[in-house]
Structure 1
């Protein structure tokens, strides 16, 4: 009888994990939809989302840590500092990038973060990379090259910002994998405070309309805060490969929402490069015998999508 109960509990855990990860991907996919409706300056957009994300995440941290929020953050040490700074850069450059290039371009760049994280771990921590992962990295590199070539006419920032976003998110993945035994949620919350502090001199409150503040709240609570919280829950219930595969829903839905609402059609190079990167992610995510790919950190973030 015990075995039957254990199987039922395992199935329920898997189902709940999948629901959480799919919910996170759906939440993240709305970033471009919200950003396109904003009239505030870029710095104000990022700060507005960061403020409400901080409020939401602070509530989650206080509830889950039960009075140990500050102590938990301190216990992370240098790892917590690196995650805080890297996630602040990733989430900040994500919205900045949406002001200079298409939603599809940003999201497909972000999809390459797990492979970049594996490469970074190999360079910094000498972590072995399986043959399958090397193949995924090579394929992703081709896809990113295609998109970079197609974005050059939009200016350097159209390439630089998505690259910085993806690289900083890869750093977050590496650190959170290295410190799997602790939750990085307090560092996630602190990252939004850092975003606010850095952008404070550049914020123009007067540039934000009444509707902008509503969108800031929705982006902060739903797109960023809820998305991170759901992934934090779901990533502990599913294998890393499955998490990586399910989060691809964001890459599919993000451009779709913007195309339906604003008729923003991705360029041919973005579609081709994005398709190649998606193939690379599926190659890595469906690995069964290789070491678990670095795609599902305990905190897991965003994209700001990470983002």
Structure 2
């Protein structure tokens, strides 16, 4: 048990009552006195010794001071991991989008329970909420995030803090499910959120939600696809699922896409195979540099995953045209997949 108390306020009546409740507890109790930011603040600890704690840990949760000492004291009481145990990597899926597009409804449908508050009022979800999901023997962590509004409409205080937390949750995820409103169509804010996903190098799947409301409209599907192509030209590699979060068949089509994107996010291609493939591309379409002879030999290797990153070694690297890099990226996708995954190609001089 870790009892956290406010060092600046001192021992309050509630702190004293908490200490009485913890005295009969047989489990180890650690008293952490927070907001002790500097050595000058340590005299504030004197009041807390009267609570009868065996050890008091002055900490600063905001600055991280004293946290290491607290963790070292906790370590002997934590269960030891079995030797040679391979830790399972659980994919993290962030559900992102504008307010009120159905993010929490989707996560509730995946969980099979009404765990998250759903309302027609935009901004109901404030903090990212992690939920463990098991399906067909595989585990996932889904994160429902706060709706991301235009910067000018974000209120200071709680909403601004929620947006920052949502962006951080996206950054630590493997894949983002971008939820769009099938009735309202694609907006400028949707485009900005998609750009944020691309900038952070996350895998992505687009879910066009509330599609059941347009079931009788024959022109809806081609019109919406055209709008996606116009608004998201940089997301041509991202799979799109049309459906409704409240319909089970939508999840049946969504999860195979998630599994594929998660697998491609950590995919690694052997250097030998990659160079043989690129050499074939050069023979078909040589890399012509500005004021130089066509390059017929380069070296390429994959240097990272999550997202897949490639280093292309070539003489006069700054002169390689951007159009050829786009051609190379498109060719790699055609040959090796990488559905829903941004690829990064770094130029390096030989």
TM-score norm. by structure 2 comes to 0.21
Structure showing greater relative contact order (alpha-carbon pairs closer than 8 Å, 6 or more residues apart): 1
- Which is helix-richer, 1 or 2? 1
